[in-house]
Chain A
Amino acid sequence: MNALDELGALPALLTTLMGDDPHLLLVQAVAWLDPGNLTAYQPDPRYIDFDYDAEDDLTVGLYVCRECFPAVYASVMQLQWQGVDERHITRCLLEGISTQLTIPIGSLEELRYGPPVDLCGVDLQLLDPDDAENPPFDRLLPLFADFGLSRGGDEPRDVQQAAFETAQVLIQSLTSRPETVYQDTAKLLLWMFSLSGNTAVDYTQEAFWENGFDMANWTPEDVALINDINQEARDFITSALNGLQILETDSALRKAFNRNVRTLKKAVQKATPQKQKRRNTHARTYPTDGDDGTAAFVRYTRWPDRP
């Protein structure tokens, strides 16, 4: 037997020998299925968490898969054993991770910021009709105009406050209606005035960072939560855009919407000085209607019948 044949038989000989020792068998199992555990992807003992900034993109990708997507990790590990090149490995990681997320990732670098959240909140200061990347946003401007608001959001504070309170009453009125068209319109207003309660719907990218929120971590629990948030936001925005389209096409409904906004704005503005007076700590009476009286204004709204 020549030297090359002996070398070829070496793996079989070694694996047979290792198979007799349970410790070596376990090491062999780790080398086969979780080799990263023997070398990289181990958190630095000086830190509690994995340091995403200190590692390269591929290491971060493998670590994330090991923590959250074992199926992707297993398949990539086998590809590595087959000697597949790094570019192909990277592509497999990207595709594998993206299939597990509601919002797919574009590059492994994005993994450093936690599970992606599709923040699609509305901010009047950022609304730009000429921004081709945000086509629905310029369509919101005529609706904001009904509330006395315009692009830039430079209106005085009392105007903004009245618009906000008017929107709250309208939402309350719309959500009490069972018809889909009104439910969609309510979602449109909840989106426009950041009142949905869903982070992805209410916050813009800028507002999210300015508020100093921490991103979610790469844990199975956080990934499931972020997927739920993104899915809910996606459904929410779809409904809101349906509401927008209906308001743009149904002229009778648009008129009713505009009329209701005007009526409620007047009622809210009229009630504001009284409310401020009642909020005066030196006054002898205090507000009794817990939700700032919005419920009282709902009776002013009138909506046409819709299927």
Chain B
Amino acid sequence: MFTSLDVQGLVNCLSQVPPVELQAVTLLRELRCTSATGGWFPAVQPDCVVEATRQLIDYIKSCATLLDKLKYLAPITLPMLEIPEWPL
């Protein structure tokens, strides 16, 4: 049963989450534009672009959903925390 989590515990927990490998980012990293191609973005096969776009949109949507959930997190009671001013 979950009892408590301090800041360091949260940091340790989050740092163990592997980074998301987005196909779009991989493509940009691997096919960096050179002055020969002259463009801002690499030339990629259409089906590859479609897949990368689909993945990126899903990623953005899941981030937005997570952000919404974080906005409405229920308050957590901290029984160990002492507030001397409380009786005042």
Contact = CB atoms under 8 A, between A and B. Distances in A.
A70 B35 CA distance: 30
Nearest to A33: B53
A283 interface: no
Given A8-B38, A11-B39, A33-B53, A19 B32 contact: yes
A242 to B, nearest CB: 40
Given A12-B33, A15-B33, A70 B28 contact: no
Contacts of B50: 70-71, 74-75
A30 B46 contact: no
Contacts of B41: 15, 28, 32, 81
B32 A32 contact: no
A77 B29 contact: no
A34 B39 contact: no
Contacts of A81: 40-41
B9 to A, nearest CB: 25
B24 to A, nearest CB: 4
B56 A34 contact: yes
B40 A34 contact: no
Main SS class of interface, B: helix
Contacts of A70: 50, 53-54, 57
Given A32-B40, A33-B49, A16 B32 contact: yes
A15 B27 CA distance: 12
Interface residues of B, number: 23
Interface residues of A, number: 28
Given A15-B33, A33-B53, A75-B46, A26 B25 contact: yes
Contact of B38 (A12, A28, A37): A12
A33 B56 contact: yes
B60 interface: yes
Interface in A50-75: 66, 70-71, 73-75
Contacts of A37: 57, 60
Nearest to B29: A19
Interface string A197-217: 000000000000000000000
Main SS class of interface, A: helix
Contact of B32 (A15, A22, A66): A15
A297 to B, nearest CB: 56
B41 to A, nearest CB: 4
A77 B53 contact: yes
Chain B CB count within 10 A is highest, among A8, A19, A31, A33, for A33
A8 B32 CA distance: 16
Contacts of B57: 34, 37, 66, 70, 73
Contacts of A296: none
B53 A73 contact: yes
Contacts of B24: 29, 32-33
Interface string B2-37: 000000000000000000001011001100111101
A9 interface: yes
Contacts of B22: 26, 29
A218 to B, nearest CB: 14
A78 interface: yes
A32 B22 CA distance: 13
Given A25-B29, A29-B28, A9 B53 contact: no
Closest 5 CB pairs of A and B: A74-B53, A29-B24, A70-B54, A33-B53, A74-B50
Interface of A: 8-9, 11-12, 14-16, 19, 22, 25-26, 28-34, 37, 66, 70-71, 73-75, 77-78, 81
15 contacts: A9-B35, A12-B33, A14-B40, A15-B28, A15-B40, A19-B28, A19-B32, A22-B25, A28-B40, A37-B60, A70-B54, A74-B52, A75-B46, A77-B53, A81-B40
